[in-house]
Amino acid sequence: MNTNFYEQVYEIVRLIPKGRVTSYGAIAKSLGAAKSSRMVGHAMRFAGTAHPKVPAHRVVNSSGLLTGKFHFGTPEMMEELLAKEGIRVKGDKVLNFKQVFWNPLEEITE
């Protein structure tokens, strides 16, 4: 397990504002590892054990699909957490995806 990479992923995910989502690929690109979106997904599988907490429900695939939903307590939990933040989901897909998409490359300033 590449702990350092995982921690970098978690740091970015912790920056995603409530009511916004990003994708595995956008996180990978922001880390300079554009071809590593699957590795980001793998890191997200273990996000529940990270401290401080990681809002993993805000990470979806590049089409806005809730592909990680089975890694939550119930398959509905990811959608429920997003709904609490005002993000609408239909058929496991974020509605208005482009409007609620948070791009770490554009949003994070160092």
Helix (H), strand (E), coil (C) string for 30-60 = HCCCCCCHHHHHHHHHCHHHCCCCCCHHHEE
Residue 2 scores a pLDDT above 90? no
pTM of the model: 0.93
Interior/surface letters 47-65, b for 16+ CB within 10 angstroms, e for the rest: beebeeebbbbbbbbeebb
Give the model confidence (pLDDT) of 46-72 as tens digits.
999 999 999 999 999 999 999 999 999
Count the neighbouring beta carbons within 10 Å of the beta carbon of residue 75: 12
